[in-house]
């Protein structure tokens, strides 16, 4: 895989531009799970699952989490998650809640996003 990078936002509050900042290389043989987002479309079902519903998740969350492409997709090398103001299943907002449970589980390690 290509060297990892992190996004750093620069600019004013109204016009932030993400820039990739190179990070130290990681030995690929040590990686146990990753997604380079080098594809377009919905998140890879082999790596990502969805928690869908609008029951608050124990936090009194106001949105309804969906599996719809309008709320989660991959484009231009990034996972995009959008919260949207809309009436849906009795909630005023929709969003996506993606999880790797059962697809990328481990006890210890370093996580980079």
Identify the DSSP state of 109. Answer: -
Distance (Å, whole) CA 88 – CA 64: 7
Distance (Å, whole) CA 2 – CA 36: 9
15-22 and 78-81: which strand pairing? unpaired
pLDDT of residue 17: 65
The C-alpha angle with vertex 20 and arms to 27 and 99, in degrees rounded to 5, equals: 70
Distance (Å, whole) CA 34 – CA 104: 8
What are 17's strand-pairing partners?
10
Distance (Å, whole) CA 40 – CA 59: 32
pLDDT tens over the chain, length 113 residues: 444 444 444 445 555 666 677 777 778 787 888 899 999 999 999 999 999 999 988 888 899 999 999 999 999 999 999 999 999 999 999 999 999 988 878 887 777 76
């Amino acid at each position: 895989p290509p060297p990892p990078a992190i996004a750093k936002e620069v600019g004013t509050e109204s016009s932030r531009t993400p820039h990739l900042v190179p990070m130290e290389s990681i030995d690929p043989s040590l990686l146990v799970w990753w997604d380079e987002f080098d594809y377009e479309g919905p998140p890879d079902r082999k790596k990502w699952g969805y928690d869908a519903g609008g029951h608050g998740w124990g936090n009194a969350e106001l949105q309804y989490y969906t599996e719809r492409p309008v709320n989660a997709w991959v484009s231009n090398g990034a996972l995009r998650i959008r919260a949207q103001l809309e009436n849906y299943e009795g909630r005023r907002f929709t969003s996506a809640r993606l999880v790797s449970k059962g697809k990328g589980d481990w006890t210890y390690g370093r996580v980079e996003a």
